[in-house]
Amino acid sequence: MTEVHKKLAFFFLDGDHASAWEIVKEDLAAGKNTMEIFEELFTPAMGVIGEMWEDNSITVADEHLATSTCDFVLSRYQHDVTQKRKDPQNGRKALFLCVQDENHYLGLKMIDLLFKEKGWTTKFLGCNLPLEYAVSAAEKWKPDVIGLSFTTAYRVSSLAGYIEQLEALDHRPTVLLGGRLVPLHDFKMLCSEHTKLIPSLEDLNGWLNYGFSRKEQIPN
pLDDT digits (tens, 9 = 90+) for 116-162: 988 899 999 999 999 999 999 999 999 999 999 877 666 667 888 89
Cα dist from 185 to 78, 91, 109, 161, whole Å: 32, 34, 22, 18
What is the distance of C-alpha 52 from the center of its chain? 21
Which residues of the chain form CATH 3.40.50.280? 93-214
pLDDT tens figures, 2-55: 689 899 999 999 999 999 999 999 999 999 999 999 999 999 999 899 889 889
The DSSP secondary structure of 37-91, one letter per residue, reads HIIIIIHHHHHHHHHHHHTTSS-HHHHHHHHHHHHHHHHHHIIIIIHHH-PPP-S
Chain region(s) in the chain for CATH 1.10.1240.10: 3-85
CATH number of 3-85: 1.10.1240.10
- The CATH class for the domain spanning 93-214 reads alpha beta
pTM for this structure? 0.87
Name residue 178's beta-bridge partners: 149, 198
The span from the CA of 76 to the CA of 68, in Å, is 12
Q: Taking 60 as the threshold, does the pLDDT of residue 175 lie above it?
A: yes
